Chain A
Amino acid sequence: KAGVTQTPRYLIKTRGQQVTLSCSPISGHRSVSWYQQTPGQGLQFLFEYFSETQRNKGNFPGRFSGRQFSNSRSEMNVSTLELGDSALYLCASSRDAGNTEAFFGQGTRLTVV
């Protein structure tokens, strides 16, 4: 059974650019959550999608957005990148919305220069 797949694994972007990260959940899982991990702030919740609907959002500026497609794949977008956006972005999938165990992908390491 394939796990959660995140692409790309590594990205280097320049300040002011935008970036799109992708997450394919485990087959049959309909909930996808995104987290940002930094040494200073730890693991912080970005947003969660279930059946193409955003059900919950963390305390991040509007530059951070996401969406989910009908096949449950999800993308997150960060516009006008800042140095502080450098982080490991983790995607988690679960079968239902907040009701079951969450499995994490390998993450996308974003570096903003």
Chain B
Amino acid sequence: ELKVEQNPLFLSMQEGKNYTIYCNYSTTSDRLYWYRQDPGKSLESLFVLLSNGAVKQEGRLMASLDTKARLSTLHITAAVHDLSATYFCAGHAGGTSYGKLTFGQGTILTVHP
């Protein structure tokens, strides 16, 4: 059964700094998702990573996937306050998993001035 673990679970950053959130998964996952959630809100899709070595960037966020290491990273460059949110990674085990996504615990990111 696919298990997904994120670290760190809490991240307090200063504006302008860089940091990385790590997402490890236990078994083969045929794709990896990153979502953002603001307090009391739903999940906003950030990235879908489909293959080994995939890298996607949007603004100050960049996500990558290493299927051999079973690791995805979400790198934050020059953080700004608007990036404060909870970030989730989610894996899809493929095969008969159909629509099931397995989520990590979430990383609560707080960006301070």
- Give B22-39 as 1s and 0s: 1 = Cβ < 8 Å from A's Cβ atoms: 000000000001010000
Assembled-state Cα–Cα distance A64/B64 (Å): 36
Query: Interface residues of B, CB < 8 Å — how many?
Result: 23
Main secondary structure on A side of the interface with B? strand
Assembled-state Cα–Cα distance A98/B95 (Å): 9
The residue in B33, B43, B104 that gathers the most chain A C-beta atoms within 10 A of its C-beta is B43
Assembled-state Cα–Cα distance A33/B98 (Å): 10
Q: Is the CB of B98 within 8 A of A48?
A: yes
Assembled-state Cα–Cα distance A24/B74 (Å): 31
A55 interface residue (CB < 8 Å to B): yes
Q: Is the CB of B45 within 8 A of A42?
A: no
Q: Is the CB of A56 within 8 A of B101?
A: no
- Give A91-110 as 1s and 0s: 1 = Cβ < 8 Å from B's Cβ atoms: 01010011001111111000
Interface residues of A (CB under 8 A from B): 31-33, 35, 42-45, 48, 50, 55-56, 58, 90, 92, 94, 97-98, 101-107
Write 9 A-B pairs (CB below 8 A) sorted by A numbering.
Answer: A32-B99, A43-B106, A44-B103, A45-B100, A48-B98, A48-B100, A50-B99, A56-B98, A102-B101
Interface residues of B (CB under 8 A from A): 33, 35, 41-45, 48, 88, 90, 92, 94, 96-106
Q: Other than A45-B100, A97-B99, give 14 A-B pairs with Cβ distance below 8 A.
A: A31-B98, A42-B104, A42-B105, A42-B106, A43-B103, A48-B100, A50-B98, A56-B100, A92-B101, A98-B100, A102-B33, A103-B45, A104-B35, A104-B44
